[in-house]
Structure 1
């Protein structure tokens, strides 16, 4: 089987492989670039596998005047910059010892050994620079069926890296057919090894959750996470009940998937810390949640939070109470976001000062908002 894709025509894609082949080594693209091409999804990364050892890869690329970065050389990975793009090149390997977070690896010369250490069958499909497919484990069968399965024994793959529990749900949301349900063996392995998630850093967990919640519709995956106990293990107190409603409302409003908004719908104790959100993400998570529960009208939410987050708050409130969002509400958000309070504190000075000045400003702002932003500057100063 051969694939055709525009990225395979990229001169840099061809150059890196050709350099390895000219030195007598195999050079096979693997993982997301092959999987996404077969599914018709966009391709973002170019990951290569080879039987060349890291020192040989470095020598070959540097002889061709390409920049080489030893990003994970202990595990056989170097990053080569060609045509301004990064190419992650990893030597064929198999794991000889794991602790659930990291592995001690042994370099291999056989692509089958390399395939057997990967997480899912759909990620163990390779192709060369001509597009010829190498499929050691029959991953294309699963891919065509949109069926997500672990390579070999699910429990063994999970125990090699407990983050694979979250990767299973993330990949299910993005690539699996929801009508088929999820693989029972995989679910049993995830449920049986929940304690292993305690060994995984908050940064890695947060990264997986962001990617999961960015899927077009992660509702089913998150629902099964809750049923198996995975959701509660990483976000105690989280509840996905409002999530499918929110996803539907986002689609109705023509909004792109918003992971922070969806996280606000799920909730959970200490989500910002447990998922290592950035300061900006944490502030936005808190602000949207508070706004959705504030009881403010759509126009005021737009005025106080801006069009983007005002709309997010309106959708989240609708999801919490289980109702649709009227188009008029979204128009009110936009109207509120455009409104500018026509007076400033200086306009009330020196008549008012200190605490009284603040109270007067709030009272007049309240009158202005309640008027539908119609009161003029003269009205507010009268």
Structure 2
């Protein structure tokens, strides 16, 4: 259950109030397919990840179906789709959700494979720049991938990610009996730390466990809850077991009601190596959870400036320990009150309604320009 899918799911109601009908063209079989169908969304199978097959598939779909706009969520891998849409004379938007391309990241530092990766991504970049109508960055730094001089260029548009705050409030007030194990886990804990994210290299879970261990959870009666799933889940569970931390780390798995977990936590830890934006940072601040995160560029956009002094190098355990300890000290001294309220107010700017309003205005403007051109 990725952040992109969740954001799209949360935005459907707002799009419908703007009389925007949404069809989702994707590889079917995802964990949220049924949620989209429940909201009345028509799903169309893209039938594969091969870019050439995707090109012909989208070209065919646009030949038999009438769409006013195609809006890709494939970020850096949207080039061939942009070309197909251009040839079918349909405006094409690209949403960029990460500051770096995640395609074959394991090839990045391998001589020959890194060359192939760069060639592949550069083809996508060239096609995207030439044939898309608008490239939307869900963080300003994401647009730097395409051009360092994107500001003032009508080809690019930065928009704040959207959060469904009403849904978050409902989750916080839920009394789901399935959460009994979690309630028992945090009972009498002196402090509850929380992290939300898929178990993959980007999220830096191994570093997070090292940091948590250094905070001496056994001595201080700290608890850590981890929401999410992914390829590295088993490895992190093994690490927790090997460090003797099973009684202090709770693996909640994939959860839809993250508001429930945030409402019962004290500090949000987020040591990502890179991000697109980090919606969960906004959600944590809205729920009045202090944030201690890595000092990467997108986090300076997503986190209230008062928390920036707690940012740390995501590869420097000692720095992370010092910054986290400082936040704990300030939290215990009750000196974060005003900052917590200001961060909550700051987060309210990132509503799903605001995001949809801005994007729909761009839809209408680009569609009008496309028709006139």
Report TM bin, short chain: under 0.3
* TM-score (structure 2 length as normaliser): 0.25
Greater gyration radius: 1
* TM-score (structure 1 length as normaliser): 0.25
